[in-house]
Amino acid sequence: MELKEIQQKIKEADIDSLRIDFPDLHGICRSKLVPARRLEEVLEEGVKHVQATYALDLANDVAMGTGVGSSIQWRDMTIKPDPGTFAVLPHLQNTARFIGNAYGPNDEPVAVDPRYVLKKIIQRYEKLNLQPMAASELEFFLFHRGGEANGEIYNPSPSCVYQVNPIIDPQGILRTLQNLLLQLGLDIIYINHEFFPGQFEVNWKYDHALTMADQTFTFKYVCKEVAAMNNLLLTFMGRPKTESGGSGYHIHVSLGDPKSGKNLFEDPKAENGVSDQLRYFLGGQMAHAKGMSAILAPTINSYARFVIGAFCPYYLVWGWDNRTVYCRVPAERGSATRVENRGPCASANPYLALAAVLAAGLDGIENKIDPGEPVSGDVYGAAPGAYETVTFDLREAIADLKADKPLCDALGPELLQAFVALKEHEIERFRTHVTDWEFNEYSYHL
């Protein structure tokens, strides 16, 4: 978007404030607010942040060993707005935003910037004359905030899947989100109540992989902000309560021809109507499923989602239009021919999740990795040991990530160091935390 167009939009919407947003390693939106009259200055100079923002955990501590803290003297970085990401934020008064890219002191990209990591992998596809397209399918839970109902689930009633009415959504939050997201350029397909009480899902149309990552990043923080403005807590946690199920982030990917737009995953003459490129991409997903786990399921809580019968992956298998597998190839063909990776947790950083999925798929294409045979039927009922399972623990997932050389090479050593250090810090904090269960179990007798 050109400067004059941005200036015109700012004038028309009476914008007085600009948010310069960027994702940290968790996928959280970090920002600074600047007066709109500084538009030209901020587009040229950006805004300063400390690089250690990428080392910050969710308890407000800085993890050691990330390579972006004390080892670089707590150095600054500059977040420069990407003009193409300008958008008026319809839920905030007179406010617009840019998504920024991170640069170091010599104007070089910061290697741990998740957006930069994804852009690098997309560029590898572009050199092969391939255009990666993606769609996000995200679930979340809603809880009340404040008053006597604080912490209670928004809709506690069971068996409300595929319902949309004032009983399951008394505050009309779904319609509010739908209309705000449409104004932000997300082409919403539908919103509905999902399987578990208080769980909802939003689907919107596919787009270029970087655009989709930007949209997913925007979707997550706008949903949380709008919920908070309505005295609700919206969470993308993998499994927020023991008695409930989990929330997934299904990533749908296809490859297009940059000139014609043709979906290169379709081959009407081939068996099941899919091309060798789809099969090799799928082979990459299966070969790197373990290695990707720490990126796709990035929190300790993420692994509580992986249970049999909960509409999430349990066995590392793939199938045709089968929702009990790790990777699914939906039945649609033509422009909708795609691979769906059902492994990601809703809490995953969309830039890193897409980067990992695309890196795995690219390795599959470049090395012609065969995905193996598909499974049929409900694999949840398979005999124990019949198939390899997903990873069930973040510590094990970190070890698998470190051992996956093609994936590590694609993400880059700087990103890998920072991400692993941050996650190992999280694991150690959890290991030494004493739970209420432990106190209740042991304190009286021991």
CA separation for the pair 81, 208 (Å, rounded):
19
Task: Read off the pLDDT band of 80 (50, 70, 90).
Answer: very high
Task: Read off the pLDDT band of 173 (50, 70, 90).
Answer: very high
φ/ψ of 291, rounded to 5, equals -65, -35
Token digits of residue 54:
């990428």
**How would you classify the pairing of strands 95-103 and 17-23?**
parallel
The answer to whether residue 441 sits within a structural domain is no
Q: Are residues 102 and 137 both part of a single domain?
A: no
Q: Are residues 77 and 126 both part of a single domain?
A: no
**pLDDT digits over 228-266, tens only?**
999 999 999 999 999 989 999 999 999 999 999 999 999
pLDDT of residue 397: 98
What percentage of the chain reaches a pLDDT higher than 90?
97
Residue 87 has pLDDT above 90, yes or no: yes
| Residue ranges making up the domain that contains 389 | 120-411
Residue 216 has pLDDT above 90, yes or no: yes
Residue 384 has pLDDT above 90, yes or no: no
Q: What is the count of structural domains for the chain?
A: 2
Can you give 139-195 as a three-state secondary structure string?
A: EEEEEECCCCCCCCECCCCCCCCCCCCCCCCCCCHHHHHHHHHHHCCCCEEEEEECC
The answer to whether residue 388 sits within a structural domain is yes
288-352-59 Cα angle (round to 5): 115
Q: Are residues 152 and 96 both part of a single domain?
A: no
Q: Are residues 395 and 346 both part of a single domain?
A: yes
Which residues make Cβ contacts (< 8 Å) with residue 108, sequence separation at least 6? none
- In 312-412, which ranges are continuous DSSP H helix? 350-366, 394-403, 405-411
**C-alpha distances out from residue 336 to 135, 205, 287, 330, Å:** 11, 11, 24, 9
Burial of residue 138 (number of CB atoms within 10 Å: 0-12, 13-18, 19+)? buried
CA separation for the pair 209, 122 (Å, rounded):
8
> Which of 63, 93, 111 marks a domain boundary?
111
The residue type found at 285 is: Q
> Which of 111, 133, 166 marks a domain boundary?
111
pLDDT of residue 1: 87
CATH number at residue 71: 3.10.20.70
> Which of 82, 111, 140 marks a domain boundary?
111
Q: Are residues 129 and 104 both part of a single domain?
A: no
pLDDT of residue 189: 96
> Within 13 Å, how many C-alpha atoms sit on residue 259's CB side?
2
Q: Are residues 50 and 152 both part of a single domain?
A: no
The answer to whether residue 433 sits within a structural domain is no
Beta bridge partners of 101: 80
Give 10-55 as a DSSP string: HHHTT--EEEEEEE-TT--EEEEEEEGGGHHHHHHH-EEEEGGGGG
The answer to whether residue 238 sits within a structural domain is yes
Q: Are residues 251 and 297 both part of a single domain?
A: yes
Q: Are residues 180 and 89 both part of a single domain?
A: no
Q: Are residues 264 and 157 both part of a single domain?
A: yes
Q: Are residues 278 and 236 both part of a single domain?
A: yes
**pLDDT digits over 351-375, tens only?**
999 999 999 999 999 999 999 999 9
The answer to whether residue 442 sits within a structural domain is no
Q: Are residues 307 and 391 both part of a single domain?
A: yes
pLDDT of residue 422: 98
CA separation for the pair 423, 428 (Å, rounded):
9
The answer to whether residue 423 sits within a structural domain is no
pTM for the whole structure: 0.97
pLDDT of residue 393: 96
**pLDDT digits over 114-162, tens only?**
999 999 999 999 999 999 999 999 999 999 998 888 999 999 999 999 9
CATH number at residue 140: 3.30.590.10
304-349-85 Cα angle (round to 5): 150
pLDDT of residue 394: 98
Measured in whole angstroms, the distance separating CA 286 from the mean position of its chain's CA atoms is 19
The answer to whether residue 147 sits within a structural domain is yes
Task: Read off the pLDDT band of 341 (50, 70, 90).
Answer: very high
Task: Read off the pLDDT band of 310 (50, 70, 90).
Answer: confident
Reported residue count of the chain is: 446
pLDDT of residue 89: 98
Q: Are residues 354 and 402 both part of a single domain?
A: yes
Give 226-278 as a DSSP string: HHHHTTEEEE--S-SSTTS---BEEEEEEEE-TTT--BTTB-TTSGGGB-HHH
Residue 268 has pLDDT above 90, yes or no: yes
CA separation for the pair 80, 103 (Å, rounded):
7
Q: Is the dihedral of CA 79, 83, 89, 92 positive or negative?
A: positive
What percentage of the chain reaches a pLDDT higher than 70?
100
The answer to whether residue 431 sits within a structural domain is no
